[in-house]
Amino acid sequence: MDEILSIKKSFLEEIKEIKDADALEKLRVSYIGRNGKLTAILRSLGALPIEERKKIAPLAQALQKEIEENIKSCLSSFATHHSVDLTAPSRKLSRGHLHILTVVEMDIRKIFSSMNFSIVDGPQIESEYYNFDALNVAPNHPARDMWDTFWIKQSEAEKKDSKKHLLLRTHTSPNQARFMESHTPPFQIIVPGRVFRYEAIDNGHEINFNQVEGLVVGKDINIANLKFVIETFFKKFFEGKEIDFRYRPSYFPFTEPSIEVDIKLNGKWFEVLGAGMVHPRVFEYAGYNPRDWQGFAFGLGVERLAMIKYNIPDIRLFYSSDLRFIKQF
Amino acid sequence: MKFSYALIKKLIPQAPTQKKLSEELNLHSFEVEEASGDLLDIKIPANQYSAMGSHIGIAREVSAIFNIPFKNPATKVYKSPIKKNLIKINIQEPKLCFRYVARVFDFNSIGDSSPEIKKILNTCGINSINAVVDIMNLVMLETGQPLHSFDASKLKGNINVRLAKKGEKMETLDKKLQELDPSILVIADDNSPLAIAGIKGGISSGVTYDTKRIIVEAASFDQVSIYKSSRLLKLQTDASARFSHGISEALVDIGINRATELLLQAGGKFIDEARAGNEKIYEEIIPFYPKDFEKLIGMPVDLSKAKYYFKTLGFEINPSKKKGGIDVVIPAWRNDIQCEEDLCEEIIRFIGYDKLEKKAPVFAVQGVEEDDIFLLEDKVRKIFPTLSIDEVYNNSFYGDADIKNEKFNFLFGENSSNVQMINPSSEELKYLRKSLIPLLFEDYEKNAHNFESVRIFEIGKVFGLVSNKPKEKYSLGIFISAKKDNSLILELKGIVDELFKGIGIVDFDFVPEDGEIKVQIDDNLVGMLGTEKLKHGEICAFGEFDFEKMISETEEAREYIPIKKFPSTMRDVSVLVSKDIKIGDIIQRIQDTDINIIENVDLIDEYEDESLRGKQSLTFRIVFQADDRTLKDSEVNEEMDKILKILRSEFYAEIR
């Protein structure tokens, strides 16, 4: 009797450790196989006196049954893994996808937030004054042709006053003037948003697209600082990639000096950003004394960065609403 | 602007190869857009046409970049011979024409230019005409001053710089008849216009192989006037591009003297000169201090190094009255240099921005702020993907067909209309969108053949003309479609439920009206929902929301509501009621029987068919739960009896 109890005890302990079907089979053989521990007892029953046999036989048979059941249920727990063809394709679940431009804009916002930039919004229908005059872009100067402009239908009287003459903003830069008029430095902001250009649509041009404007003003903000902020941004944006930077002189009426920034990624140069030191006249328009403040501004194209980062060949894809495109991201 | 490498090389023979040249110009001066054959196509910045719209300007850059000497060929000054008064100049519009210099040359014969000159002109996109006309163009390329030559024998009387008369016409050198407007400045003799000032010459007075006496014009015009005339006539020339950008009056003398030198070489005889307008050219003096450079750029510069670059660029240096600085005399043709910041740029670009070490700025730590719109956008964008709804970006423009598809007009009101552009990019894109819905319908069409259901949303600005004033606001549009689902709008209601709760709007109502559903917060209309059958028999549901109205409603912080401690009891009840009875009314009524212990009422089954003869079978699930105790069966039964009684008496319901 004691022997049967100890067999039971050792079996129950051993089966807890069993991890696969092979080991289970070995266990089965060692207990109820031809030379198993329990089998040996069952075989020896015939040799026992009848009184003792009556006492032990039911226990031994019960244990045999218990062992068999235990093995069976243990096996079936393995079997659930085996009965599924694991090479079959995964079930199709669905989630919604954010537009890739949203994802990129969120990344941009996050990086600048981490550098203590505030995030500011501005109107898309803008006055000629904020879009051009306040940015030192003189009226009737060909410099204005750098921005092909959509003009809003208005009365002749309104067209004569540049503060009332309306257009679709051609860049996010008007918010430099708007923000400065109502805030005192030091500050650092970015202004993400949609802008418009009156031009032919092709794989690199859209009539509406997204920009992010940056503006930092303080007592002694300089170009070396501009380089730092820009390089920090791009290194984070293209995380893990080797990037070279190239700075070229450029011209914007609202910055002096003005620069163009190129980055080299995977052996290829890309123009990614225009920037410069805020022109003293822009400070004057905003009501600042240019001798008190110094700052830099920059502008980058969201579509352009998305195209570079995700290898998207055609800007029109962003506005195609083709879910085969949108669901990729 | 097109430049000839051959001409640059002629001006500055030690110039490096074209490839090296264009690489370094890119890094220190301006963008070279193309460099092939003899051509260098350079993007001259809009403020530098006077300084750099010339091969001499480029040669100066090359000299400063590569530290190689440059000898300006256009420095010889020719004095007028004894005055014969062959011509007289009347500037009738001194505000539009500042200077006018005319020189008269006699020729025995006029031939062709050398192949070398022809090649240079050709590179720069200019046709070779004859030796005289070619010299005019070559000098413009060299010095940046546009010149014009007239056949003196074709002139009747004086040279008059005046505005065109109404109805006046002129045939230009390329044989096009231009109708002139009284805002356009012309060069005329006593009879008729000879040239459109600063833009193009007339054919009647053009110099040909037969011309014996020529008049060469070098003048300075108001840039705005030339810019406007050139746009009005839709006529852009090398000359008009230069004048429109504002070139210095100083170039007049430089150009006319260089032309004189070349005309003499070509066999011409300088016989007379007439001048009108300004003779005094002012030069700007700008003080420069190395400490200002360091403050703006972020690195120090030696005064000697600054002086070196200024001198290379042709600037004169005078001692400053204040300590530590210099006075820089800006040559008149460098009209792009207007302040000390400009001088700093001249130094740093030659030193090279790559030599400038980046430096972390010191920012005051203020709490970063984000405009509310971004915060709400972020919240909304967190929710939609979890409901299997994709985000789209549509154009801000659409046309007449789309206006018909604007389903709701609550965003800008009944009396609003669409904002229009003066210069739309096409008829189909002539309005700014007033609603996001029309383009979401188009998006559905584009995707319907690829996807079984289209579920999309967009956040963007919409525009409306309200009392003749253009207004804009942020809108949120949703569109979902399904193959066969007549009650798809209920799913949309569910989406809005999740959305509003997710962004922190708890109190809102769905108010059905004329087949649409108004979404209201305290009687304030914030959104509309609708549903339609689509062409292919599919169903869609769509909604639009005034995003800005939602912003003010989401500000309250959400608080934790304790999970109820006592178990709930569920009872289902099936009723047969008339189809006219609104499900929402029944649910509301059940709820109202005892708001303390009825936790929730939901519709779990809905069934209609002909055998029910105008009635609908509805099954409601009622959840009973109390805050302070476990409800007894008897209590719930009592409550159920009350509810059944109400259903029978108020809704004539047959309990099944």
More confident residue, B263 or A41: B263
Same domain assignment for residues B413 and B535: yes
Amino acid identity for residue A146 in this structure: M
The pLDDT, as a whole number, for residue B562 is 79
Residue B558 pLDDT exceeds 70: no
Are B172 and B224 members of one domain?
yes
Q: Which residue of A has its CA nearest to B45?
A: A251
Confidence of residue B442 (pLDDT cuts 50, 70, 90): very high
Q: What is the CATH number of the domain that holds B603?
A: 3.30.70.380
| Whether residue B11 is found in the same domain as residue B111 | no
- Among the residues of B352-487, which ranges form H helices? 372-383, 400-403, 437-447
In the prediction, which pLDDT does B61 show? 95
* Interchain contact B466–A (C-beta under 8 A): no
Q: Is residue B254 part of a domain?
A: yes
> Is A216 an 8 Å CB contact of chain B?
yes
Residue B80 domain-assigned?
Answer: no
Cβ neighbours of A259 in B, within 8 Å: 353
**Per-residue confidence at B611, pLDDT binned at 50, 70, 90?**
confident
Do B290 and B265 share a structural domain?
Answer: no
- Residue B365 counted as domain residue: no
Chain A: nearest CA to B312, how far in angstroms?
18
Which of B1, B388, B393, B547 to mutate against chain A (most A CBs within 10 Å)?
Answer: B393
DSSP bridge pairs for B319? B326
Please give the single-letter amino acid code of residue A205: H
Assigned domain for B77 exists = no
**In this predicted structure, what is the pLDDT of residue A59?**
84
CATH assignment at residue B529? 3.30.930.10
CATH code assigned at B329? 3.30.56.10
Average pLDDT of the residues in B504-524: 91
Listed in order, strand segments (DSSP E) in B483-581 are: 509-513, 516-521, 524-533, 539-546, 569-578
Token duo for residue B443: 């998006």
Residue B48 and residue B136 in one domain: no
Cβ distance B418 to B431 under 8 Å? yes
User: Please, which pLDDT band fits residue B48 given cuts at 50, 70 and 90?
Assistant: very high
pLDDT of amino acid A80:
59
Q: Distance between CA atoms of B393 and B383, rounded to whole angstroms?
A: 17
Domain shared by B176 and B213, yes or no: yes
The CA-based angle A218-A223-A224, given to 5 degrees, is 100
Distances (CA, A) of B581 to A268, B445, B575, B616: 68, 36, 12, 9
CB distance A212 to A86 below 8 Å: no
List of residues 6+ apart from B300 with CB closer than 8 A: B290, B293, B294
Domain presence at residue B198: yes
Q: What's the pTM value of the predicted model, to 2 decimals?
A: 0.84
Enumerate residue ranges in chain A where pLDDT < 70: 79-82
pLDDT, average across residues B147-156: 96
Residue B449 near chain A (CB below 8 Å) = no
Helix (H, G, I), strand (E, B), or coil: what is residue B84?
coil
Sign of CA dihedral B297, B301, B307, B309: negative
Interface probe with A: pick from B335, B347, B353, most Cβ of A within 10 Å: B353
Q: Please check whether residues B267 and B292 belong to one and the same domain.
A: no
Interchain contact B355–A (C-beta under 8 A): no
Question: Within this chain, do residues B190 and B265 fall inside the same structural domain, yes or no?
Answer: yes
Contacts of B34 (CB under 8 A, 6+ apart): B40, B41
Last residue of a domain, one of B277, B292, B323: B277
Residues belonging to chain A: 329
The answer to whether residues B521 and B546 belong to one domain is yes
CATH class of the domain whose range is A100-326: alpha beta
Ranking A137-141, A237-241, B279-283, B364-368 by mean pLDDT, the lowest is B364-368
Average pLDDT, chain B: 93
**DSSP assigned state of B557:** P
Cis? peptide before A49, omega within 30° of 0:
no
B429 and A146 within 8 Å at the Cβ level: the answer is no
Nearest to A318 among B28, B224, B393 (CB): B393
Distance, CA of B355 to CA of B358 (rounded, Å): 9
Which comes out higher in pLDDT, residue B646 or A240?
B646
Using a CB-CB distance cutoff of 8 angstroms, which residues of chain B are in contact with residue A95?
Answer: 385-386, 388
CATH code assigned at B174:
3.50.40.10
In a domain, B539, yes or no: yes
Give the C-alpha separation, A123 to B377, whole Å: 16
Reading the block at residue A90, the tokens are 């995964």
Both tokens of B355, joined, read 């030599």
Amino acid letter at A240? G
The residue assigned the tokens 């490498």 is: B5
Asked if the C-beta of B593 comes within 8 angstroms of chain A's C-beta atoms, the answer is no
Is residue B624 domain-shared with residue B500, that is, in the same domain?
no
Candidates A143, A168, A326; nearest CB to B391: A326
* Partner A contacted by B47 (CB < 8 A): yes
Q: Tell me the pLDDT band of B485, cut-offs 50, 70 and 90.
A: confident
- Residues B474, B422, single domain; the answer is yes
Residue B366 inside a domain? The answer is: no
Whether the CB of B364 is below 8 Å from some CB of chain A: the reply is: yes
Other CB atoms within 10 A of residue B200 CB: 23
- Give yes or no: residues B289 and B407 share one domain: no
Query: How does residue B6 score in pLDDT terms, banded at 50, 70 and 90?
Result: very high
**CATH of residue B18:** 3.30.56
- What does the pLDDT read at residue B557? 60
* Token pair belonging to B551: 């912003």
Tell me how many domains chain B contains.
5
Confidence (pLDDT) at B260: 97
Which two three-digit tokens encode residue A118?
């505030």
pLDDT of residue B500: 94
What confidence category does residue B366 fall into, taking pLDDT thresholds of 50, 70 and 90? confident
Interface probe for B, chosen from A126, A223, A230, A235 (most Cβ of B below 10 Å), is: A223
The predicted-structure confidence for B210-251, as pLDDT tens digits, reads as follows: 999 999 999 999 999 999 999 999 999 999 999 999 999 999
Residues 243-282 of A with CB under 8 A from B: 246-251, 253, 256-260, 277, 279-280
* Domain housing B133: 89-277
Q: Is the pLDDT of residue B424 over 90?
A: yes
